[in-house]
Chain A
């Protein structure tokens, strides 16, 4: 959730999730950036002939677009709450 200036929290408090100053709450990435910082997309064709594209966004939620063998377009959503 992005920082909201009008929330009353400072940016630092927001980054610490409201934790007191000095408490380590954020994991620091010490390695190089990875593709994990982008939406993760997986595409496949199933045995029944349907084509599927799953996209996991930065919020962790997955939107799956499916084209069935008879051409029907479907879209599924999986919300992964933390």
Chain B
């Protein structure tokens, strides 16, 4: 099965239960990081219900992209906003800065966003749909206008 997008339910539940201090609105660069992974991570099927998912712990201790231009652990993410989306009542979005790695020779199939200050706790995973390799080139990730992830808080606005 191909990689899929998803929030890690353990992180989501613990954040809303105030068991972990996950602050999606913290705009300090590096509060979150994005790490690239190849398609073989978790055997291609991520268990989004796993307990305490974290970068560096199984299955995210293997199959991270590697090669020139990429350092293990990925790049700092800067949160732009965590708010109701303009023009979309009852819909909140998490917007972060675009990511770019320059002069890379790597292959990646997805991005893991995690929080270094929370024992590298994994927040969510975004799948690219297939493997995309670079060759001495730039690897950039751009987000949709409504951000990395968004929640519709009412069925109808």
Contact = CB atoms under 8 A, between A and B. Distances in A.
A81 B141 contact: yes
Contacts of A38: none
Interface of B: 1-2, 4-5, 108, 111, 126-130, 132-144, 148, 155
A73 B138 CA distance: 13
B28 to A, nearest CB: 23
Nearest to A23: B155
Given A2-B2, A59-B129, A75 B142 contact: no
Contacts of A64: 137
Contact of B137 (A4, A23, A74): A74
B103 to A, nearest CB: 9
Contact of B133 (A4, A77, A82): A77
A26 interface: no
B4 A1 contact: yes
Contact of B148 (A1, A6, A81): A81
Interface of A: 1-2, 4, 6, 20, 23, 59, 61, 63-64, 66, 72-82
- Secondary structure of the B contact surface, majority rule: strand
Q: Give me the 7 closest cross-chain CB pairs, A-B, nearest first.
A: A76-B137, A75-B135, A59-B129, A79-B141, A77-B132, A74-B137, A76-B138
Contacts of B4: 1
A77 to B, nearest CB: 5
A73 B133 CA distance: 13
Given A1-B127, A1-B129, A20-B155, A81 B136 contact: no
Contacts of B5: 1
Nearest to A20: B155
B137 A81 contact: no
A77 B108 CA distance: 10
Nearest to B142: A80
Given A20-B155, A76-B137, A81 B143 contact: yes
Contacts of A74: 135-137
A74 B104 CA distance: 10
Given A79-B141, A81-B143, A82-B144, A63 B1 contact: no
